[in-house]
Structure 1
């Protein structure tokens, strides 16, 4: 991902709000990624790029793939993202574990397509989601060793609403997931959005599954779905 002045401005404001220096370092986080990909400071996982994840951790670790679906309302320009409510009451993203003992890009995509079908009742066509939609990966080498791969995909308004209507017909409903919610993210170029701040004032107190809290924060920064003014507010409520 290329770095431009807006990326630098956004990440600089995010880092300042959570006490990360301009070099991306802090006492609570470590990241070797581009500065356009901010790393959440509360994560127990270390962010790594995909080649490192597959070269160094393809075996001996549990791999999981998840995705953030989002769209922009054509009439208002408002961005929304999708999250799930799991059967344990925690919030997370569509996705799940890879089945094969050795994980490569093909296995990642196979697992992601399978999980989206099982959890969302959404049949993807070939090429609808590709490895190019990968945003970042995280690794945890202590306790239960895991590698979490995260993707982001923009949908049309029609596709997004289709997911909202059909997810309750999915194979894993309601045994694994009991519903979905639409997360308001605002308009990245208009500054403060009252709807976003009102939502996150309460939503930040919810329980998130695994690394989902940090995946939400890092993905909305990486995809530039939220304004610099609002991202500082969101972090203050959710970190």
Structure 2
């Protein structure tokens, strides 16, 4: 540089020295603008350095490719995220389940300030176990029993004024589960929720080993929110017993918060955990269970007979 100008590569260091912004990411949230400024300047500095060397910066890897080897693994012979991205914004397509409008990550982030953002994660692991020695468990999927008696995935609302989606999600996961972190490579899909409130629900998935998942279940008992906002963790049964009721159909009869049931079914389909026809059968069985038998309906509608007095 001529005239003693400061090289671009040294700008972040200069700013860090003058404004004392070189703090770790675990610093209090009141310095978040400086962390973003520093990250932006570092990125600009790297791009300028590469341009001066005659090389354009390499484009970021696609999400599907980044998933492999970063806690996502392979399902059905292909990367987990590829199952969703290869078909674009895939719908659920299960009879009896209302569809939610899907959005890409960029579309969701372009929504106006009047929208709230919720981020939830499905942690799962291949499970070679056999129930009663004959029913394959296939996968262990983690959900939570909430303070309101409803089932949901770990996560919560993220204030986009102070946090990125992943930073906010990891903060909530730390309160309810303990040591687990997700990145944008674990992002799966976003949906616009139904109801009067303008909420977009972001959904993440992460594959673990069964030992890692079990360790998270243990650490969740010692988390800050255990016994308060979180009553405990549960695993989702993916099988259907011979009576066509036990297992997944009975589990789907529970009360789920907001989009949790839709997200569960969507992930089971997109990640090839349960065939679509089996999902449709489980949902149909759930609806039949909600319909009272004819004799039960007649008995319920019959007038009460006064007790006999002796």
Question: TM-score under structure 1 normalisation?
Answer: 0.72
Q: Deviations over 1:88-133 (max 9, x none)?
A: 100000001112337xxx7100011111110112243xxxx22122
Bigger radius of gyration = 2
Q: d(CA) in 1 for partners of 2:232 and 2:177?
A: 10
SS of residue matched to 2:236 = strand
Q: d(CA) in 2 for partners of 1:195 and 1:156?
A: 31
2:120 alignment counterpart: 66
Distance 1:138 1:161, change over 3 A: same
> Which deviates more, 168-177 or 225-234?
225-234
Superposed counterparts of 1:133-148, under 5 Å: 133-140=186-193, 143-148=196-201
Q: d(CA) in 2 for partners of 1:238 and 1:63?
A: 30
Q: d(CA) in 2 for partners of 1:64 and 1:35?
A: 19
2:11 alignment counterpart: none
Q: Relative CO higher for 1 or 2, CA cutoff 8 Å, sep ≥ 6? A: 1
Q: Give the counterpart of 2:233 among 166, 169, 180.
A: 180
Distance 1:195 1:158, change over 3 A: farther
1:212 alignment counterpart: 260
Q: Give the counterpart of 1:113 among 161, 165, 170.
A: 170
Distance 1:210 1:162, change over 3 A: same
2:155 alignment counterpart: 95
Number of aligned positions between the proteins: 198
1:29 alignment counterpart: none
SS of residue matched to 1:175 = coil
SS of residue matched to 2:191 = strand
Q: Give the counterpart of 2:92 among 35, 38, 54.
A: 38
Q: d(CA) in 1 for partners of 2:282 and 2:164?
A: 34
User: Post-superposition shift, 1:212?
Assistant: 0.6
Long gaps (5+) in structure 2: 1-63, 66-75, 77-86, 131-135, 288-310
SS of residue matched to 1:85 = strand
Distance 1:88 1:142, change over 3 A: closer
Distance 1:133 1:96, change over 3 A: same
Long gaps (5+) in structure 1: 7-32, 187-191
Q: Give the counterpart of 1:152 among 205, 208, 218.
A: 205
Q: d(CA) in 2 for partners of 1:161 and 1:233?
A: 30
CA RMSD after TM alignment: 3.0
User: Post-superposition shift, 1:199?
Assistant: 1.1
Q: Give the counterpart of 1:165 among 218, 225, 231.
A: 218
Question: TM-score under structure 2 normalisation?
Answer: 0.56
User: Post-superposition shift, 1:36?
Assistant: 4.9
Structure 1 outlier segments of 4+, above 4 Å = 74-77, 192-197
User: Post-superposition shift, 1:229?
Assistant: 4.1
1:27 alignment counterpart: none
Maintained 8 Å contact 2:236/2:251: no
SS of residue matched to 2:185 = helix
Q: d(CA) in 2 for partners of 1:43 and 1:101?
A: 31
Q: d(CA) in 2 for partners of 1:58 and 1:37?
A: 24
Maintained 8 Å contact 2:92/2:99: no
